[in-house]
Amino acid sequence: MYIPKHFSVDDSNQILSFIKQYSFASIISLQDKLPVAAHLPFIVEEEDGHWKLLSHFAKLNQQWEAIENQISLVIFSEPHAYISPVHYTSALNVPTWNYVAVHVYGEVQIIREQKRVEELLMKTIQHFEPGYLQQWNGLPDKFKLNMQNGIVAFEMHITQVQAKFKLSQNRTEVERKAISTALKFSEKSVEKELGMLMKHNENH
C-alpha cells in the first residue's frame, strides 16, 4: 500500500486497537490465478509475541479450498469521509478523502480439529456478543455441531502489517480542527466516528 510519511503508523497498540474496533474486513487471496475476496468478521490474538487473525468461511464459499499455505491479504478500512476544501484557509485546494486502512498479510491455515473450531466460535461470540454465550451454551449439541460443520475455520499467521491513518496530518492545526469538528457534527455515523478518531489521533 502506498503510504506517504505523514500518514504512516507503526504503533502496534494503536493498530491492534483499530483492528479490534473495526473488525469486519475483506480477505483477498488467489484462486486459479485470479484474486477473490470474502467479507468476514475477524478477531485478533497475540501469541508468543506474534499476532494472528481468526475467522471462518461458509463451507460453500470455495475461496477456502485454495487459500491454505499462501500469503493472503486482509484489509480493514473503516471509517472514512469526503473532506471538502471549504475547511482550508486557502482557496487553492481541492477535495480529498480521509480514511484509515490497515493491510495485514499472512499465511492462512485451515483449522480442522473440531475442538479448535468450537473454541474459535466461543471466542467469536465472546468478542462480538458476550451476552449471547449463555444461550449458545444451552443449545442442543447436535444443532451446534451442524452449525460448525457448515463453516471452515482458519487462522492467519501475520507476516506484515501496513497501517495508513490519513487524517489531515499534512494540514495546519486550524484546518485539522475545522475538519474534525465538521465531521463530529455530521449526521452520518461513519463521519462522526472519523471525527472522533481525528481528535484521538491529535492526542496520541
At 175-197, the pLDDT tens digits run 999 999 999 999 999 999 999 99
pLDDT at 92: 81
pLDDT at 126: 94
pLDDT in tens, 26-37: 999 999 999 999
Domain total for the chain? 1
d(CA 57, CA 71) in angstroms, rounded, equals 17
pLDDT at 201 over 90: no
Q: Residue 199: CB partners within 8 Å, gap ≥ 6?
A: 180, 184
Range of the domain at 199: 5-203
CATH number at residue 98: 2.30.110.10
pLDDT in tens, 126-136: 999 999 999 99
Annotate 113-149 with b (16+ C-beta within 10 A) or e (fewer): eeeebeebbeebbeeeeeeeeeeeeeeeeeeeeeebe
